[in-house]
Amino acid sequence: MTAASNPLLADWSGAFGLPPFGAVKPEHFGPAFEAALAAHRAEIDAIAAAKAPPSFANTIEAMERAGQALDKVSNVFFVLAGAHTSDAIEAVERDISPKLARHSNAIYLDAALFRRIDELWRRRTSLGLNPEQARVLERYHIRFARSGAGLDQTAKDRLAAINERLATLGTQFGQNVLADEKSWALILEESDLAGLPDFAKSAAKAAAESRGKPGKYAITLARSSIESFLQFSARRDLREKAFAAWTSRGENGGASDNRALIAEMVALRAERARLLGFASFADYRLDDQMAKTPANARKLLDEVWGRAKARAGQERDALQKMAAEEGGNFALAPHDWRYYAEKVRKARFDLDEAAVKPYLALDNMIAAAFETARRLFGLSFKPVQVPLHHPDARAWEVTNAAGQHVGLFIGDYFSRPSKHSGAWMTSLRDQEKLKGDVRPIILNVCNFTKPAEGEPALLSFEDARTLFHEMGHGLHGLLSNVTYPALAGTAVSSDFVELPSQLYEHWLETPEILQKFARHYKTGEAMPQALLDKVLATRTFNQGFATVEYTASALVDLDLHGLPKPEALDVSAFEKQALARIDMPAEIVMRHRLPHFQHLFSGGGYAAAYYSYMWSEVLDADAFEAFKEAGDHFDPATAKKLRDYIYSAGNLRDPAEAYQAFRGRLPKVDALLKKRGLADAAVGGDA
């Protein structure tokens, strides 16, 4: 296959510079990666071997300009590997993951290259760099040092082997979880649907039809499917069966069991940390985060944990009472929680989730997220017809208040067997100015239940919140306004990256947005004020449960990656012991159990850093208070500071510096406790 015949290596002359998805086939990726890796390696070798003394231009800027072909091929591939995979794509992924790790090792362990960067770092005050250039140099020096560039050759060789093996294991982990999710469905008859509202029945019918089961109903392991079933199904036996499948992904024995992979990954990460001079992987990971140390992260989690358990204990008692009143002669179990929580919520607030969903049509919620961006940042979204990676995906051109092109936004909202679970933001191209005015192409990927043909997709309030969350990440990429690719968009520490996304969720709950966009999908009528008031009144309902399931996952993550030498790890036993140590309520399960905890093990982006969501929530709760203090949820002056110092600034500044530039001070935890309704929860109560 020649470069001319490979669409991945050709110039992309289509609209917005999008890749020609219709022409790309799995067999194109192997040759394309091979050519792109070779080209990048040649560029790096030339930089490292340059005879001219190192300068910012011939070393740092040269590295920033290198690897364009590899970026293009990788971005296309990983969009498909995550959102529309296949056996052929998975085979490529297994093959390319260790090769990409090997390539990265060769760069970051290159002694000659590091000598040039280190010399620049030592002379940094005399180079006449502007603040952004100084930040780029700092990040490169840190990245190389943390990769082991300054170690002896024996240690470098071992680090390279560890990194390559971890890449292979991470790929296999994610593919195993997807395999378990694809292979399971609970096929139901009409008689099995007791308690399910019409929207859930319709979605289950469509899911069955897509699996070749016409006339049946299917519950899948997509979160929007399984959680709706657990929330509404009156069949306790079926809830138990579905919940067991949901929580045992990656732990079923056989080829897709992830426990041995986890044990090996945790041991390798700990070894890598020791080689780099750290006591544990958690110490290594947090050293370059906003939290700085595991102790700082744990302090926040511990402060919330006691309050969350106390509140969850109160919630459990209310659910148990409801079950008893209905004649249930059993102790509340994890597969009962969502079902009875919905009943208690309906009784306490006279609010039925099934009554809310008709007002939260997907298209309306997308429009709501766009309107929020318009009012805050002056952005407009115009639908465009362009070739995309899947027929379900759709695209919008984004322009600013002056009508200038900002970027392209792509939304891919429905679950399918070819898509990994969860929700995420990614990109096909990142913003930068070094190689010209490069505009971003940003994707939001979600897993909402696809409706039956001709029916609208109706979201739960939690689904709508997820949509706003990912839109926040999307805006972080779209609004990026930096020169150097290394600092663009979401290239910030993991305990800061969730600030723009979690902060954006707040605007979903503002009256200005809900009153305009929460409209009945049939009549177009606005959500009645009484119903809207009930929705807002329930914001802190069941927050003990939600906080416990999240915080337990974060604490177990820190415990696991805090082990100095975790050899011969029994993953199931460790998880059980870690939960016993924190006195995990028996009626609640971790939000992500270790065998399917993709944040930690499918690439490892949040390994030892799952605490980041709560760390960022302290920031986002405090940040939204700035708008409340201004007396306007869309206050222009506050929105401008938010854009300038958070959404547009990428990694121009240290995270604490960036937050203080926006808020005038560091955040306080009080706003988080208030947001979750835990401010008055007694610490250490029965749970």
Residues 62 and 188 in one domain: no
Residues 11 and 125 in one domain: yes
Express each pLDDT in 374-406 by its tens digit: 999 999 999 999 999 999 999 999 999 999 999
Beta-bridged to residue 444, according to DSSP, are: 411, 425
> How sure is the predictor about 681, in pLDDT bands with cuts at 50, 70 and 90?
confident
On whether residue 375 sits in a domain, the answer given is no
What is the number of other CB atoms lying within 10 angstroms of the CB of residue 656?
A: 14
Instruction: Give just the sign of the alpha carbon dihedral 679, 680, 683, 684.
Output: negative
Express each pLDDT in 183-222 by its tens digit: 999 999 999 999 999 989 999 999 999 899 999 999 999 8
* Distance, CA of 349 to chain centre: 32
Q: Are strands 217-219 and 394-399 parallel, antiparallel or unpaired?
A: unpaired
Average pLDDT over residues 77-81: 98
> How sure is the predictor about 471, in pLDDT bands with cuts at 50, 70 and 90?
very high
Read off the amino acid at residue 670: D
683: pLDDT strictly greater than 80: no
Looking at residue 438, what DSSP letter applies?
B
Looking at residue 444, what DSSP letter applies?
E
Using the 3D structure, point to which of 228, 248, 268 is the last residue of a domain: 248
Residues 141 and 198 in one domain: no
For residues 99 and 167, what is the distance between their CA atoms, to the nearest angstrom? 9
Q: Answer for the pair 3, 26: CB distance below 8 angstroms, yes or no.
A: no
For residues 566 and 265, what is the distance between their CA atoms, to the nearest angstrom? 10
Q: Which two tokens stand for residue 379?
A: 């952005």
Residues 129 and 8 in one domain: yes
| From 90, 164, 432, 470, active-site residue | 470
465: pLDDT strictly greater than 80: yes
Say what the pLDDT of residue 224 is: 86
Beta strands across the sheet bearing 441-448: 380-384, 394-399, 405-414, 441-448, 424-429
Using the 3D structure, point to which of 248, 269, 303 is the last residue of a domain: 248
Residues 64 and 127 in one domain: yes
On whether residue 83 sits in a domain, the answer given is yes
Express each pLDDT in 556-577 by its tens digit: 999 999 999 998 899 999 999 9
Q: What is the CATH number of the domain that holds 52?
A: 1.20.1050.40
| Closest C-alpha to 219, from 238, 237, 194 | 238
Using the 3D structure, point to which of 126, 147, 168 is the last residue of a domain: 147
Residues 19 and 100 in one domain: yes
242: pLDDT strictly greater than 70: yes
The distance in angstroms from the start CA to the end CA of the chain is: 63
On whether residue 559 sits in a domain, the answer given is no
- Residue 172: enclosing H or E segment and its boundaries? helix 153-183
Residues 199 and 141 in one domain: no
Read off the amino acid at residue 146: R
On whether residue 670 sits in a domain, the answer given is no
456: pLDDT strictly greater than 90: yes
The rounded mean pLDDT for the chain is 95
Say what the pLDDT of residue 5 is: 87
Say what the pLDDT of residue 687 is: 29
Say what the pLDDT of residue 567 is: 85
Q: Is 512 a catalytic residue?
A: no
Say what the pLDDT of residue 686 is: 34
For residues 679 and 671, what is the distance between their CA atoms, to the nearest angstrom? 9
Q: Show the domain range for 226.
A: 184-248
On whether residue 651 sits in a domain, the answer given is no
Domain count, the chain: 2
On whether residue 479 sits in a domain, the answer given is no
Q: Which two tokens stand for residue 317?
A: 């008692």
The 3 state secondary structure assigned to 500-548 is: HHHHHHHHHHCHHHHHHHCECCCCCCECCHHHHHHHHHCCCCCHHHHHH
Residues 244 and 132 in one domain: no
Beta-bridged to residue 412, according to DSSP, are: 445
On whether residue 321 sits in a domain, the answer given is no
Residues 7 and 139 in one domain: yes
Q: Which two tokens stand for residue 615?
A: 């760390």
Residue 483 φ then ψ, to 5°: -90, -40
Residues 68 and 140 in one domain: yes
For residues 33 and 167, what is the distance between their CA atoms, to the nearest angstrom? 16
Residues 240 and 121 in one domain: no
For residues 319 and 342, what is the distance between their CA atoms, to the nearest angstrom? 9
Residues 133 and 191 in one domain: no
On whether residue 73 sits in a domain, the answer given is yes
The pTM for the full model equals 0.93
Q: How long is the chain?
A: 687
Express each pLDDT in 124-135 by its tens digit: 999 999 999 999
CA 444, 176, 608, 495: dihedral to nearest 10 degrees? 0
Say what the pLDDT of residue 354 is: 84
